[in-house]
Amino acid sequence: MNKKVWLGFVVVFIVLEILMFLIDGVFLAGTYSSIQNVWRSDMNSKMWIFHVVNIFIAFFFSFIFSKGYQKKGIWEGVRYGLYIGLWMSIPAAYATYAMIAIPHSLALQWLIYGVIEYIIAGIALALVYKEGKPKQAVA
């Protein structure tokens, strides 16, 4: 594996962690506290699992991108993030909705925020892979 895969992994992990804090810790905090009865009573002691999951997601997100990289710039990251975002967010949001008594509005927000999150991660990854301008020869 080349250095860009590893750099992409680190960048995507940081992006996912920041976005998880913003989405779950800020934007959806009120919703989460209004439905406390559906969450595990020991949920806070298990939050470290989210960080471990983000490590795996960031690695494979970066690794798979490297295998199909086509040097198409930011839009390649947007497209990749959209595909992965839909692939990951639809099942996560709606399988949880089917199993746990959460409002449909929360499942929909998870879907939308999830797709946005992966698009942002895809853009960050495309920036890591962006080729620099060729250097001009000095005469």
pLDDT at 135 over 70: no
Is 78 within a domain? Answer: yes
How many Cβ atoms are within 10 Å of 131's Cβ, its own excluded? 7
Is 138 within a domain? Answer: no
**pLDDT, tens only, 62-112:** 999 999 888 888 999 999 999 999 999 999 999 999 999 999 999 999 999
How many Cβ atoms are within 10 Å of 12's Cβ, its own excluded? 26
DSSP state, residue 37: G
Is 139 within a domain? Answer: no
Q: What's the pTM?
A: 0.88
- Mean model confidence pLDDT for the chain: 92
Is 19 within a domain? Answer: yes
Is 137 within a domain? Answer: no
Q: Residue 70 belongs to what domain range?
A: 3-129
Instruction: Give me the number of domains the chain comprises.
Output: 1
Is 77 within a domain? Answer: yes
Is 92 within a domain? Answer: yes
Q: Is 69 helix (H, G, I), strand (E, B) or coil?
A: coil
Question: Looking up tokens 């996560």, which residue turns up?
Answer: 92
Burial class (CB in 10 A: 0-12, 13-18, 19+), 122: buried
